[in-house]
Amino acid sequence: MQIGTQQDGAVLAMLSIRETLYAVKEKSIYTVRLAEEIDPQRTNPTIPNSQQKLFSYGSDSPLVGRTLLTASELLDRSYLGQTFDQESGLAFAFEALKCLIAMDEIKSQVQASIEIAKVGELTRKPNGSITIPSVPDLRARCVAFIQQAQRSLSELLNVVKLFFGIDSGRRWFESLTELVEHRYGEEDGFADFMRHVLPFLQMVRTARNCVEHPKAVEYVTVTDFALQADGKVYLPTIEVVHQKHPLHVTPVLDFMNLVSDHASQVFEVMLAHLCEKNLRQLPMAEMHLVELPEEQRRYKYVRYAYRGRILTVEDNAATDD
């Protein structure tokens, strides 16, 4: 069958996740169900194959490339060992992608609402007062965004546990940071990466806790368009009040852009580190995980791949020595 429309672009990947087949096109993702799957006994010969569009995000999207397609490229038991749970890893990556897409859609809705509100700017009444624009359901949208961000990172933590066991995620990403430093040394690239991204990961977790379990000194404040003492109307802002992991007053769109971009990048790079540290060497080849130049990539936003070098007799002799 022909999946989707020409506007969706070409089918670049077919992925089976939890017994469901997905077609990843350039600008969309579809589920595909064959007639034999719907009616295995073929009791109704008129049952057709079917397809259903899930997302208007495909291989051309950085979100899809950094998560689902990078996972499909790297989470391969041929390189990670036959006991690696490849199916669960891909499923966790797909769940993370769903969260990132939800975040992107919320961000787009908020951005559109702000642009519409800015068109009207200020309406001055005959008595001299002014009407300030507003964004509908701004706090609810920010809360939903934060919850989806935390869930996306929770799915990444599920992937971590496939490599290092359940204890590696017992205390959010702090446990992984300590494990990596202890196992590979504080100067290791993976350890350096974890120290660099940990404040961001903690901030997202803290923001989620503050919106779901607010306390007197731990909470999130969302402010709509507001008139300030300098006579200017400021864009909507968000603030996370917390002693250890605060977020100072930040424009809502800046916050959403930062979290969306960082979350997908952290997923991508951490996946590369996890796979590089757990790469199994083949008997007759020396394997490496490499970053590909754009012209050599299968998918536009999948930067990492496995590459090997066939070992020679001389290499084997040197290893024996």
pLDDT digits (tens, 9 = 90+) for 25-45: 999 999 998 877 777 777 887
Q: State the average pLDDT for the chain.
A: 90
Average pLDDT for 145-154: 98
Residue 285 lies in a domain: no
Residue 254 lies in a domain: yes
pLDDT of residue 49: 83
Average pLDDT for 240-251: 95
Do β-strands 285-291 and 237-241 pair in parallel, antiparallel, or remain unpaired?
A: unpaired
Confidence of residue 47 (pLDDT cuts 50, 70, 90): confident
**146 plus 186 within the same structural domain:** yes
Residue 25 lies in a domain: yes
The angle formed by the CA atoms of residues 68, 71 and 73, to the nearest 5 degrees, is: 115
Among 12-16, 176-180, 260-264, 286-290, the range scoring the smallest mean pLDDT is: 286-290
Average pLDDT for 119-132: 69
- In this structure, what token pair is assigned to residue 110? 């908020």
pLDDT at residue 15 above 90?
yes
Among 43, 60, 77, residue at a domain's last position: 60
**46 plus 167 within the same structural domain:** no
Strand partners, 288: 307
Average pLDDT for 251-273: 97
Residue 94 lies in a domain: yes
Residue 298 lies in a domain: no
Average pLDDT for 88-106: 97
**125 plus 226 within the same structural domain:** yes
Measured CA to CA, the distance from residue 263 to residue 62 in angstroms comes to: 11
Confidence of residue 312 (pLDDT cuts 50, 70, 90): low
Tokens 């935390």 belong to residue = 150
pLDDT of residue 231: 76
Among 53-67, 80-94, 129-143, 211-225, the range scoring the smallest mean pLDDT is: 129-143
The angle formed by the CA atoms of residues 97, 101 and 103, to the nearest 5 degrees, is: 115
**175 plus 209 within the same structural domain:** yes
**55 plus 144 within the same structural domain:** no
Confidence of residue 321 (pLDDT cuts 50, 70, 90): very low
Confidence of residue 179 (pLDDT cuts 50, 70, 90): very high
Count of the separate structural domains present in the chain: 2
**19 plus 107 within the same structural domain:** no
**249 plus 184 within the same structural domain:** yes
Q: List Cβ neighbours of 285 (8 Å cut-off, separation of 6 or more).
A: 308, 309, 310, 311
Residue 319 lies in a domain: no
Residue 304 lies in a domain: no
169 or 216: which leads in pLDDT: 216
Among 35, 60, 85, residue at a domain's last position: 60
pLDDT at residue 138 above 60?
yes
pLDDT of residue 313: 47
Among 60, 89, 110, residue at a domain's last position: 60
Q: List Cβ neighbours of 228 (8 Å cut-off, separation of 6 or more).
A: 234
Residue 318 lies in a domain: no
Question: Residue 170 belongs to what domain range?
Answer: 61-277
**30 plus 155 within the same structural domain:** no
**130 plus 246 within the same structural domain:** yes
**15 plus 159 within the same structural domain:** no
**157 plus 204 within the same structural domain:** yes
pLDDT of residue 311: 57
**54 plus 67 within the same structural domain:** no
pLDDT at residue 282 above 90?
no
Measured CA to CA, the distance from residue 226 to residue 102 in angstroms comes to: 27
Confidence of residue 283 (pLDDT cuts 50, 70, 90): low
pLDDT of residue 77: 92
